[in-house]
Structure 1
Amino acid sequence: MRLEDKVALVTGAAQGIGRAIALRLAQEGASVVVEDRLADDRAQGTLREVEDAGAGRAVLIAGDVGKVEDDRRVIAEAIERMGRVDILVNNAGVERRADFIDASEADYDLVMHVNLKGPYFLTQAFARHVRERGGGGRVVNISSVHEELPFPHFASYCASKGGLKMLMRDLSVELAPLGITVNNVAPGAIRTPINAHLMSDPALMKALCKNIPLRRLGTPEDVAAAVAYLASDEASYVTGSTLYVDGGLLWNYAEQ
């Protein structure tokens, strides 16, 4: 098991990609902190699955990653309850669809706070912990092909993911002296609840799959496998990079 004796914190782990990541890291031997905005039935369900899947410990911590005070508290509580944190997976994310000229400040703030402000201050708190304890660490951000690819009607989402790309690149340099690697995983079209409307419409699915050279949607497990690699010692010399998990979508996409 590649992550035995490691502690991983996964934000937005109640469902979808976050849940798959938490499960995969547990299967790789890590103890896992399941984090989500609410300690509701979905989050409790992830916790139970992680407990069943892994040999390490698992705990649930609730917090709104869009709030700096919650970010600092989540890291502090994880350290208090688990003894340390070795791997931070900034997975929590939201999107809001709107024509640019009609987009509201409230929707902009929500997207930017969760998708960019959260990873910024969670990583800051994590890096301070690593500086204090020594021994290095791993940061893996769940970005999107839209850190590169325009997505009309989702300008705030694209801005947040483009910002996350540059934040990752900057921190990969700045945090390297602490032994912290920082990388992004950028999914394309994945079978998650956020894409339920696509999966329920055969015409939309056909049009989308024409843009994907592998001719299928990815799975949360596809993304989780990439995270497990970047969190492991096998990726100890990988930092400042984006790993695309998109079936070839990014370089084959044409807006319909």
Structure 2
Amino acid sequence: MTQPTPSFLGLEKVHVLVTGASGGLGVALVRQLVEVAGARVTAHHNRALAPDSALAQLVRELGSDRVRTVQADVTSEPDVTKAVQGANGGDWGVATVLMLSHGVWPEEDVGVVDMEYARWKKTLAINLDGTFLFIKHWGRGVRSAVQNGTLSPDFPHVSVVFVGSTAARFGEAWHADYSASKAAVQGGGLVLSLKNELVKSVHKRARINAVSPGWIRTPMAARAMEDPKLLGQALATTPLMRVAEPEDVAAAMVYLASGTAAVHVTGSVLDLAGGMEGRLLNPPAVAKL
């Protein structure tokens, strides 16, 4: 089941906390962290975990000695606090890597002038506020571990990896709420601010980076990718002419998490959009991929 750990990653038995682990990307990320990198993963899920869900099945397959789960509403600070403390309280010690893969993309096309304030608030609460809360409490846990001597100040694998989006770079008409939430993270906001803060307030080798994918073939995007016009808009300026698989994004995130492979990478956004250069207002239809 488990493959040899590539020496350049150095993540064997490193404790990683993955948010949104029950989603399509989250499940792929947990699998790669365990099977490829040899890490130990605390997998966060938002709702009660159904026994037949992909994450529950993965936990049974990989074993509770490799994957454990915590539940939290990402918009609730008490929930997030409890989840992080639960992750850190076991025999694995503090989670030194935080992978933020939770998020919501409302399917309905709605312009700003017609958008209900409730939708705007919900999207930003999940995508932005939830990110803030997890970083806040994850950072406190790492800082405490350094202060009490259970984590070395020289430990290399202390990092945060976000999932951003091409919507943060090019915008996305009718989904301004989603674009705004991702731009606040991967643009000149959290990533660039925290790359300077974390080394001073949390751990001297702490790094923070983001990946910026376009469409990913996950259940959240399945219906949208069935629309030839929308798919054409997404791929018209993409030289590779393909939709990313969850494993494509997960592999890049695992690389960025590693304090040996990506030791000198921080404050960066890694483009994972097949060379995408923008969006066309009137794109040609493309075949379903």
TM class by shorter chain equals over 0.9
Partner-residue secondary structure (3-state), 2:12: coil
| Whole-Å separation in 2 of the counterparts to 1:88 and 1:59 | 15
Q: Which residue number corresponds to residue 27 of structure 2?
A: 19
| Candidates 162, 175, 193, aligned match of 1:154 | 175
The answer for unaligned runs of 5 or more in structure 1 is none
> Do residues 40 (structure 1) and 66 (structure 2) align?
no
| Whole-Å separation in 1 of the counterparts to 2:85 and 2:64 | 23
Moved more, 196-205 or 85-94: 196-205
> Do residues 71 (structure 1) and 80 (structure 2) align?
yes
| Whole-Å separation in 1 of the counterparts to 2:145 and 2:119 | 38
> Do residues 235 (structure 1) and 247 (structure 2) align?
no
1:6 counterpart letter in structure 2: V
> Do residues 98 (structure 1) and 119 (structure 2) align?
no
Q: Higher helix share goes to which structure?
A: 1
Aligned length: 255
| Candidates 80, 85, 88, aligned match of 2:89 | 80
Q: Cα RMSD over matched residues? A: 2.0
1:37 counterpart letter in structure 2: N
CA deviation string 1:29-75 (max 9, x = no partner): 01111111113227853143255348952111111111122121111
| Whole-Å separation in 2 of the counterparts to 1:53 and 1:234 | 25
User: What pairs with 1:83-232 in structure 2 (closer than 5 Å)?
Assistant: 83-96=93-106, 97-134=109-146, 135=152, 137-165=158-186, 166-177=189-200, 178=203, 179-202=205-228, 204-232=230-258
Normalising by structure 1, we get a TM-score of 0.92
CA deviation string 1:148-171 (max 9, x = no partner): 111011111111111112111100
The answer for unaligned runs of 5 or more in structure 2 is 147-151, 283-289
Q: Which residue number corresponds to residue 31 of structure 1?
A: 40
Normalising by structure 2, we get a TM-score of 0.82
Name which one, 1 or 2, has greater alpha-carbon Rg. Answer: 2
